[in-house]
Each structure stands twice: as C-alpha cells, then as structure tokens.
Chains A and B, each alone.
Chain A
Amino acid sequence: DIQMTQSPSSLSASVGDRVTITCRASQSISRYLNWYQQKPGKAPKLLIYATSSLQSGVPSRFSGSGSGTDFTLTISSLQPEDFATYYCQESYSTPRTFGQGTKLEIK
C-alpha cells in the first residue's frame, strides 16, 4: 500500500498568515492527490483534487501544487474559518490512503 505522510502534524498560526502543509507519498502517485478540510464533529470537505484543481465553492486562498511524491497545500491568508484539520489523500491506487492529518490551530 502507498503510505502518505503529512507534515507538520500540528501548526499554530495567526489570521492573515500564509501557511503551507506538506504531503509525501511513499511512491510516485503522479498528480492523483486530493486535500480535505475537517472541522470538529463535521464530515470532511473536499478542497482540492488532482493536486491543484479547486473544488467548486472553495475560496481561492487555497491552492495546491506538486507531482510525483511531494505535494503542498497553501493557504495564502488564513481566515478564522480555516482553523481545522487537513488531510491529503492519494487516488492512485487502492486503498485510497489518507495522510495522518495536520491540525491547524490559532496562535
């Protein structure tokens, strides 16, 4: 199975900060990488698919990049509603492995 490793596991930041979360795959997954946001007690929400395509309705301050094994999610200017846990997920193979999550907290 492909292993997905996110870093950092947790991150403290302030409103207005630029934040980057990294996801690394144990083997090449081309650009088959998705990002989700999850708030406490809620279902995950798709933010970005196929590395860099923004899901409909997601603010443009979210962006994604990468290919092969290394990927990043960037939030250009943190808003109060962005404090949540973020997961990457590969869709290159079965099982569709998720990263362990990055918890983004208010500084």
Chain B
Amino acid sequence: EVKLVESGGGLVQPGGSLRLSCAASGFTFSGFWMSWVRQGPGKGLEFVANIKQDGSEKYYVDSVKGRFTISRDNAENSLYLQMNSLRAEDTAVYYCAMGGASHGQFAYWGQGTLVTVSS
C-alpha cells in the first residue's frame, strides 16, 4: 500500500523558514517523480514544485521560485520542501504527491500538513 506522510508544518512568522518532510513507503520511491501541491484555506489546488527521480530536474511555480527548494533522499525514501522568506499567502495545507512527471498524474497523495504564516 502506497503511503505518504507529511510533517513539519506549523505556525511561522512572515519572513521565517520551515522545512516540510514527506516519508514514503509502499512503492519504489526512487522510481518516481515527486511533487508538492498546496491548498490555501477555502481555495483550490496549486502545484508548488516537483523533482525528478534522481533529483536532476526540479520545477517550481513562479510564486515560490527563489524562496522554496524541493529535494529528496532516495536512500531514506523522503521528500523535502525547504521554505524560506515565507509570506502570508503561503498559508496552506501542503500535500506530498507521488508523480508529477511531464504528461503524468498525481497518483497518490499524503494527508497534508498545515503551514500558517502569521505574526
């Protein structure tokens, strides 16, 4: 059974930093693109970033470029999102998702972790 478990969310002040983690199990983690997708309160889904199997390609939505960094550790079956210079508009539930390759789909999702940016 595919399982994705996010952690690391919480309350942070504007301008602060947070690192999200996603622990994967039930599939060959190193064989899949992985992604982060977020959902603001009462809003729709927004792609944040994705990363190729070996970490050699990474893509970001424009609004987080230069502030967020996606990474992975295939030995630990883990996906990460380092978030710096956080803004109020980054407040959202952040989902880890399996997939996100070009022409692919987000096949499985974690339960999400809430990030709140507020003073």
A residues apposed to B, CB below 8 Å? 1, 32, 34, 36, 38, 42-46, 49-50, 55, 87, 89, 91-101
B residues apposed to A, CB below 8 Å? 35, 37, 44-47, 50, 59-62, 95, 100-112
Q: Which of B44, B100, B102, B109 contacts A99 (CB 8 A)?
A: B44
Q: Do residues A98 and B45 form an inter-chain contact, with CB atoms below 8 A?
A: yes
Summed over the interface, the residue pairs from A and B with CB atoms below 8 Å come to a total of 66
Greatest chain B CB density within 10 A among A38, A97, A98, A100 is at A98
Which partner residue on chain B sits nearest A101 by CB separation? B44
- Return the 3 tightest CB-CB contacts between A and B, nearest first: A49-B105, A43-B109, A98-B45
Greatest chain B CB density within 10 A among A32, A36, A96 is at A96
A32-B103, A43-B95 known; A96+B109 contact, CB < 8 A: no
Quote the shortest CB–CB distance from A11 to chain B (angstroms).
16
Which partner residue on chain A sits nearest B108 by CB separation? A46
- Chain A residues with CB under 8 A of B104: 49, 91
Q: Do residues A92 and B103 form an inter-chain contact, with CB atoms below 8 A?
A: yes
- Chain A residues with CB under 8 A of B47: 94-98
- Chain B residues with CB under 8 A of A38: 45
